Each structure stands twice: as structure tokens, then as C-alpha cells.
Structure 1
Amino acid sequence: MSHHRHPAATSEAGTCARAAEGSARAREGAKRPSGGALGNHAHNPSGAAGGAVSGVDEVAAVRDRRAERWALLDAARPVSRVKRLRECRRATLTGTGNPVLRTAPGGRSGFAGLATCGSPWVCPCCSGKIAARRASELAAVMAAVEVAGGVMDLVTFTVRHHQGHRLADVWDAVSAAWARVTSGAAWMEDKAGLLGWARVVEVTHTGRNGWHVHVHALLAWSSPVPEAASAWVAMRGWGRWDRALRRWGFDSTPVHGVDTRRVVSGDEGLAGYFGKAALELTSSWTKDSRAGRSPFALLRDATETYEAGDLGLWWEYEAASHGRKQLTWSTGRMDLRRLAGLGREESDEAVAAEDTGGDDAVELVGETWPTLSRRRWQPELLAVTDVGGVGAAVAWLDERGLPWRWARPYRREGPRPRSVQAQREAREVLSYSSSLL
């Protein structure tokens, strides 16, 4: 056999190799806490974005993050006490039938027909999808406010805590305190000129001070309110916040308990800036910060070492986060979603289970899906499909002896890749890719 490679085949081999390398990097990255959080950029919402990256690098980063989420979900199954998390993306929606490999424009593949848990708090995979949706909604709202001539402030309220506090108790106190901030006669005065608000809760943990629960609230004003005026409103809100906390046995301080920052788009494009700011806001609790370890950092540590302390913290977090909302909006006359034309909000479960579009390409029959799950090959198959398309995907399955069939109504253009010639070419590409690793 000639060892000469057609330029296209060589190019495909190189990209397949890079996809495999990306999957390996992500599997290794799943063992390490990720850096950079909202806490690190509390005064610079675009700080997490860093410098400009190329389109190729960004696509590779997306694949790495996807592989890391899958790896962390697989690692969580043996230790989680949440049944829906243990079964998330493992079984089909009906318990019968087969999952389907799906392709979409832009090289983004996925699996259809799988049951999802829909948790924005404890599921590495569902939380990513939910956070992306909420970030896009927040970005749309933020853009609509600026176009309407308004301004926005990000207000953070915190609570003093120590290692002896139970997470559920701190969280309940924080929820009650926020409800007090946005109610009563004083709030009726403070909200004059306010278009509405959106609130996100962030949770971290430190070995010294225990659970840290705080609120990030986006306040949208109908006109260019001076920063000093909005800071005064935030300080009045902190007074109600502190009084409510004291009823629950907690307290706050005016120095560390409240922070106000004006959201300014600067020279960046409106959509790009607000998209990054919104994503940083909604995904802050997935990352580590100066405030401590994020919940998913706890999960990584717990699944790496099975240390009793980390396992206990994760189980406490699973129990305390159950039934709580990640993002809440003002309603009624201050409906920011209506301002942006977003319509009715979908539940987290509905967002996680939503069909993201694309074409059903390959049905994974028989023991293929159980094998992929057991060997943790799902992200590798997705990366191969992203890079090489459906032909590379079925060749990858054939190389491992995993059965499949065409999904209906998928119709592949061109010759069927299971021909002898196509299988030989696919093996050459995969063999060459392996030699590069």
C-alpha cells in the first residue's frame, strides 16, 4: 500500500488527531479545578474573556469543555445521591429505542433521544446548556435596556458566615433577605425609574469559613441614573437585607456586604460585550474564585480522592440546592423578558431537554450506547463527528466493532461510507491519526 497521502486525507487526519488530543486534554482537565470566576472579575465583567482568540481555538475550547462536562458527569454517577443525575444522558427518554447521533451546521454534533435531569446546580452537562440559554436571555435584556436609553448596575449582596453554618440555613436566609430587599414601602420608593431586575445566586465553599452564598442582581434603569444615586438605592436595599438576615440568625456589613458596579459596554460590540457579561453572571457558580471552591470543584475533588469531607460537602450541596432556581426575574410591570421580546420563560428541565436542531444521522443500536457510556467514549465520538462528519463517525464506530444504522429520515449525500473503499480510506485516516498521538 502506498504511504502517500492525498492533501485532503492528510488534512482530515490532522484535524481528527487534534480532536482526539482535545478529548484527552479535557479528560485530564476534568481532574483539575478550573480557574477564573465572577469573583475574580467582580469589577470587570469582560475579564473572564481574556484576549481575543481565533475561531479555531474557540471551537477547540468548546469541545474541550464539552468533554470535561461529560467526564465529570460520568465521575459523579457513583457518588451522587440524586437519582436523576445518576441516570442523566444514560438512558433513552422512553426507556426503549436507541440514541441517535445528530449533526448540525457549524460542526456541532450531539446525541438525541436521551433522558436529561435538568438540574442547573448539580449536573455538569445540563447546567452548561441551561447557563448558555439564560446567558443569551440576559444578554438580550441587557441590549434592549441600552437601546432603550437605560443603564444597568450589578449589585452584589453577601452574608457573613462561618464553618459551622449549614448550607441550607444560609441559603434560606439569603432567599428571605432578597425577598425583603424587593418588597415593602421602602422598595416602592427605591424602584422608581427601575425597569426591572434579574437575580442569580452563587455558592462557594472555603475550608476556613464554610459555605458562602451571595446574590448578584442586575438592576435595569429606564434612564441614565447617576452611579451615586444607584449606589444609594443599593445601600438602602442592603439595610433591608441585613435586617432580614438578622431574623434568621445571620448578619452582613456595609463594607463587605454590598457592592455596586455600573455595567458599561465600552468600545466592544453591544451583543458581544453583553453576551460575555451575561455568561459570566450565569456560570459564575461553576468556577473557582477568591471566595472559595465552586460546587463542581468540590465534585471533582470528591470523585478524585473519595475523601469523606469533600463527599459530605457535595451531598450537602445536592440536598440544599434541590428545587431552587438559578436565575429569577422581576415580573408584572417590571417584566424585563417582555421588554426584550423573550416571551414566557421555560423551566430548567425544559431547556435541558430541548431539541437543539440538526439532522438525525446515525442510530446507535444494540450495545453501542452502553459501551460508549461504560468506556466514556461519548465526547470522543462527538469530536470525531465535529471534525470529520458522519463518514468519520461511522468509520470510528466500525473500527471499534460498534453496530449502527442510518437514522430516518436522514439521507446522506454521496456514496455510502460503508463501501469497501470508504472503509479502507477511513482506516487509513484513523491509523494515521493514531500515529500522531
Structure 2
Amino acid sequence: MTGDAACKGCGRALMDSASGVILAQTAAGTSVVLGLMRCGRIWLCPVCAASIRHKRAEEITTAVVEWIKRGGTAYLVTFTARHGHTHRLADLMDALQGTRATPDAPRRPGAYQRLITGGKWAGRKASDGDRQRDREGIRDRVGYVGMIRATEVTVGQVNGWHPHIHAICFVGGRTEGERGEKRVVEVSEPSTAALEEWQDQWRSVWTGALRKVNPEFMPDDRHGVDFKRLETERDANDLGEYIAKTQDGKQPAMELARADLKSAGNDNVAPFELLGRVGDLTGGVPEDDAAGQGSLEWNLAKWHEYERATKGRRAIEWTRYLRQILGIEGGDSEEDDLDLLLGADAEGGELRAGVAVTEEGWHAVAGRALDLAATQAAEGTDGNTDPAAMGQRVREVLALADVADTVVVLTSVEVAEAYSAMLDSLALRREEASARRRREHEHQDDDADSVQERAARHIERLGNGLLPVHRRSV
């Protein structure tokens, strides 16, 4: 049902057709499938989203705990807009996150970007350029270091789309240096007056920005922006670790990152709940017994609108340089999400043994929906971890698709070597694709330069009276 080509082929297309697929058994007794492409679509793919969001939640928890341990202060801030069943999701997302740049129009900032711009927030330089005389902004008084932002979407038949933003804001710090050299040099508790000024400013800017886009989107002062201070406590299950939580006990990392685990409530459903109902209804479950709400047509229409509205948008994003300030490695791009997925595929401990299945064999297995059975056969429930026995179990499954002869048993060393070769092949293709995009971008820049040069010559000739001045030529 998806219109996204990468998502459509997730878990089916092979990373390297020559290497096929590897069903491997880990030392922990689990099994993994190596060699399948992952789409990394955090908005669209329930499988990839679960892996990516799990890793993102771990990063966020580490960041919050690290900052509070240093003596800093963190808040979970939730931003919402007023919405109704007639409002389009794309319009609401544009209002919150801003529009995306197109060949015909530049990017237009949304209410979120308005929060962290302007002289009242950022301060103003002295007229003579003397930084010692710069006027402080709210950002300086509260000690704002950065934020982690996550956008979440739910939908209901009565109130329509409900996109909202959760953000963890790190305050109470003073930084020095620019860009890659930025470092925190002092951490302290912001004053009550500074915190109140910050919160009042953000509430005012948020509602004002939404009112300017569309007065129907403007929330009231009580519901538009909500602040909750974060604290840490020792994990009851692991006394050596700390977890972050709000005053009412919620974990902020779960609020930001694990939208895939949430059930919307309040007569709304989460996007993956739309998928669940579509699966039930197309699988023959009566409407009254199926999870979710609405007809099959309604769920399909809402899913496709959701796909279009979220395309090209970031689900989770860190303020630039915040990771380096807090000592958290990684990034937020689609490439970083894919790296997380590849790392997750290889988790579970040392690979003990496995079987290789050719491209032809795997296509036959997936086409007959036997891929799960093959994975379970590789894991084995009888406790027999012998590679030959594992190969025999997998062959018995593949025999149902008449491709038992496409299985080759591998030792642990051969599994590691084969998977390494797959990753090398994938990395090479990604490098080639990146180089191709750079060449295309340079070509577009050259084309743009030539257009600008022609336009400049045209304007010069107009000024010299060499061309008749009329509306078309202008």
C-alpha cells in the first residue's frame, strides 16, 4: 500500500545480489537475517522505526542524564496547535515545522524556528561591534545550550490531524567558541525570573506565529506550550544506572523517541494504528472487532496523506553541535539512521554459524512468505546449535518453496567474512551514489550561474537601452 519505493522493498531487496542472504545464529541463541536492504523510513516503516527509535531513546536518555549530572537543567516542552477535521496535515506541519524548499520557493520557517530567532531571544550586537557591550538576550539569561526535537502525529475522525512537537531543552549553561569549537565553560541554575521570562516568551511567540499562519491554528495560552522540568533517579532494575523522568514519572526519551509504541487515545489513533486496522480489515476481521477506527477507505486515505505530508521531514533532530557539547556521537540524517539499523542487525553477540541463501532462493522464500519460518529454523528451538543441523532445518523450510538446494552452510568465520563483504559492497555503492549527487549538484550550480549571468547581461542591456522595456522583458 505504500507509495515509497524504499519502504516497499524493505526486508526484501538484497544488499548484494552476488552474496545473497545470510541466516546467522548468535552466541546468545537468537538468529539474525543479514544482507537485506533496510529502508530506514522512521515515519513509515514499523520495523525500521522500532530499531531506530530504540537507539534514539538510548541517546536521549544518556544526553539528559549527562547534562543533569553536570549540574544543568532540562525541560520537556510540548508544543501543540489547534486543529479540526477539515485541516490538512501538510498545512499543519508547515505551520509547526516550516515549509520545505522547492525549485520555485525558498523554505519558510514555522512556529518552531520563530522560537529561537529574533533579537529578544538571541540578543543584539552593540552598534560599534564591541562584543563586550552586546545586549544579552533571553537565551543568555536562561543559559540555553540547545534542544532535541521530535515531531509526533495522531489522527481522529472527529478532530482530524494532531501533529505536535516534544522537545527536551537544555538550559543553565554558558558556552564559548563557535561551531565545531563550541564548549560549555560554566553550568549553573537559571534564576526563577529568567525561567519565567523564557517560558512567557516562548508561549507568546508560539501562539503569535501560528496566528499569523492561520488564526484557526492558534491554541489558547494554557494548551499551546507545556513545560515540565526533568530530574534523574537511579533505575530500580539497575542501581548503577540513572534514568531521566518528569515530575509525574514519565520518561522523556520515550515521549520523544518511541512514538511507535504509543496508542494515541482521546479518540485518536497513531499512524501505525492505521496500518494495523488496514491489516485487520483486509485480512477479513469484521469492522467491529478490528483495532482502530473508521472504514478501510478512511484509513487508507489518511495513511497516504500522512506519507505525503511527512516526506522529507525530520522526525527527531538535535540542535547543531549539541551532540559534541554533551559527548554524544552520531547524527540525525537518514544515513545515520541506516547506520543504526546495520549496527542493530549485527547485535546479539558473536555470530556462531549460519547458512547462505542465494538471491534466487531468497526471492522464492519471500514470495511464499516463508522468511519468518526460515529465520526461526536458523534459531532452532531444539537447542541443537550444530551448523549442519541448522542447515538441515533451514533446508526443510526452503524445500516448501522448491529451493532447498540454494542453501550453503557457513562456519562462524565464513559468516563474518561474508557479512563484511556485504557491508563493503554497500558502502561502495553509497560512496558512488554520493559522488554522483555531488556531480549533479555541481552541474546544477553551473546551470544556475549561467542563468544568472544571462540575466545580468539582459538587465545591463536594458539599462543601456539596447532592449525595449516592457512587462515581458522585465
What's the TM-score once normalised by structure 1's chain length?
Answer: 0.69
Matched, 1:191 2:139: yes
Question: Deviations 1:394-423 (Å, cap 9, x if unpaired)?
Answer: 3431332244113476369xxxxxxxxxxx
Aligned residue among 252, 259, 262 for 1:284: 259
The residue type paired with residue 398 of structure 1 is R
Runs of 5+ consecutive residues of structure 1 not aligned to the other structure = 1-78, 413-437
2:151 equivalent to 1:201: yes
Q: Is the 8 A contact 1:163 1:207 kept in 2?
A: yes
Q: Aligned partners of 1:362, 1:144: CA distance in 2, in Å?
A: 42
Corresponding residue of 1:374 = 367
Amino acid at match of 1:273: I
Distance 1:150 1:104, change over 3 A: farther
For each residue in 1:71-97, what CA deviation from the matched residue of structure 2 results, as whole angstroms up to 9, or x when unmatched?
xxxxxxxx1111111111101124443
Q: How far off its partner does 1:266 sit?
A: 2.9
Letter in structure 2 aligned against 1:167: L
Equivalent residue number for residue 429 of structure 2 = none
For residues 271 and 143 of structure 1, the distance between their equivalents in structure 2, rounded to whole angstroms, comes to 10
2:234 touches 2:241 (CA, 8 Å); kept in 1? no
Unaligned ranges ≥5, structure 2 = 98-109, 123-136, 173-187, 246-250, 283-295, 416-474
The answer to whether 1:182 aligns with 2:116 is yes
Distance in 2 of aligned mates of 1:256 and 1:344: 34
Task: Look up the SS of the partner of 1:273 in the other structure.
Answer: strand
CA gap of 1:144–1:207, structure 2 versus 1, over 3 A, is same
Contact kept in structure 2, 1:201 and 1:216, CA below 8 Å: yes
Kindly indicate whether residue 327 of structure 2 is the aligned counterpart of residue 341 of structure 1: yes
Structure 1 position 207, deviation (Å): 1.0
User: Is the counterpart of residue 273 in structure 1 residue 243 in structure 2?
Assistant: yes
Query: Which residue number in structure 2 is paired with residue 399 of structure 1?
Result: 396
Distance 1:179 1:273 in 2: 29
Give the alignment partner of residue 313 of structure 1, picking from 299, 302, 305: 302
Sequence identity, in percent? 28
Q: CA deviation at 1:380?
A: 4.4
Shift of 1:347: 2.3
Range that drifts further, 317-326 or 135-144: 135-144
| Corresponding residue for residue 352 of structure 1 | 338
Match of 2:94 in 1: 172
The TM-score, its normalising length taken from structure 2, stands at: 0.64
Q: Provide the residue aligned with 1:89 in structure 2.
A: 11
The residue matched to 1:261 in structure 2 has which SS?
strand
Structure with the greater alpha carbon radius of gyration:
2
Give the one of 34, 56, 76 matched to 1:134. 56
Which letter maps to 2:280? E
Q: Check the 8 A contact 1:85/1:123 in 2, yes or no.
A: yes
CA, structure 1 residues 350+382, in 2 after alignment: closer, same or farther (shift >3 Å)?
farther
Distance 1:185 1:103, change over 3 A: farther
Q: Conserved in 1, the CA contact under 8 Å of 2:354 and 2:391?
A: no
- Partner of 2:222: helix, strand, or coil? coil
Amino acid at match of 2:210: L
Q: SS where residue 13 of structure 2 aligns? A: coil
1:218 to 150, 155, 168: 168
Deviation track 1:142-176 (CA, whole Å, cap 9, x = no partner) reads: 12202211121100010000001111110010110
Instruction: For 1:55-66, list aligned pairs within 5 A.
Output: none
The residue that corresponds to 2:218 in the other structure is 251
User: 1:97 aligns to what SS in structure 2?
Assistant: coil
Greater relative contact order (Cα < 8 A, sep 6+): 1
Residue 203 of structure 2 aligns to which amino acid in structure 1?
A: W
Quick one: structure 1 residues 390 and 323, their matched pair in 2 at CA, closer, same or farther if it must change by over 3 Å? farther
